[in-house]
Amino acid sequence: MSADAVSTPALPRLLPCGDAAISVEFGEAIDPDLNTRVLALQAALADAPVPGVIETVPTYRALLVQFDPLATDVDHLVAAILAACRDPAGAQRTVRRWRVPVVYGGDFGIDLETLAAHHGMTPEEVVRRHSGGLYRVYMIGFMPGFAYLGGLDPALATPRRLEPRLETPAQSVSVGGAQAAISSVAAPSGWHLLGRTPARAFMPGRDPVFLYEAGDEVVFEPIVAARWDALDAAAGRGEPVAELLAP
């Protein structure tokens, strides 16, 4: 493949990323239809593996295809990717929906009151709006198991903090710009912390290690702080705390 992007009106752009990866870009926006096309291509390549492909990594609107340049012909790989984009039949994925418990506010969500004041709302209104949405897991990234969510009520969209914190708690439920997120491990962040969930998004030694996948749906269930210790202990033992509602 030449260094120039391959593009047609009906197909994604294919951009080389060094000599061992191709970015298959379906658009520029955070959009469920674009993300569905990304995940459909990933599923198609998993259903009909292309020799030399090592890994595929989905994002909001693109799929990174990593390959061994000594084990595949790049032109053949490009042709296989475009063919999968033209005919993704049979590659549809069943959508899973999770109900995730969250303790909002207080020590669990130290930015709840500040964010509420910023929007002229009560903390209760923020919790009602935040927990009333249906969220889509667009991608997993930044840290192991960190889930980037679309579907945030536009009234809660808030620019990220000007000064990120050097460490925020694992399992934080937060807002950053027009996005929401569920963190996995303690990490730096400029997102606004609304609460925490006892559910473990990432747990080495558990099967599965990662709880959420791109394409999953999430609904949040507000719970009282008095339930935290028991649920956190159960999650630490590997017991299910987030409830799988569908399929």
pLDDT for 75-115, tens place per residue? 999 999 999 988 765 555 678 999 999 999 999 999 999 99
CATH of domain 97-246: 2.40.100.10
Rounded to whole angstroms, how far apart are CA atoms 216 and 212? 7
pLDDT tens profile 221-245: 999 999 999 999 999 999 999 999 9
88-92, 164-168, 181-185, range with the lowest pLDDT: 88-92
Residues ≥6 apart with Cβ < 8 Å to 159: 177
> Average pLDDT, stretch 8-37?
88
5 has pLDDT over 60: no
10 has pLDDT over 90: no
Q: Right CATH number for 6-86 from 3.40.50.720, 3.40.50.12160, 3.20.20.70, 3.30.1360.40?
A: 3.30.1360.40
Residue span(s) of the chain under CATH 2.40.100.10 come to 97-246
Q: Which of 191, 190, 194 is closest to 173 using CA atoms?
A: 194
16 has pLDDT over 80: yes
CA dihedral 152, 157, 162, 166 (to 10 degrees): -20
Query: Is the pTM above the cut of 0.85?
Result: yes
Q: What is the mean pLDDT of the chain?
A: 92
Residues ≥6 apart with Cβ < 8 Å to 41: 24, 63, 81, 84, 85, 88, 91
Residue span(s) of the chain under CATH 3.30.1360.40 come to 6-86
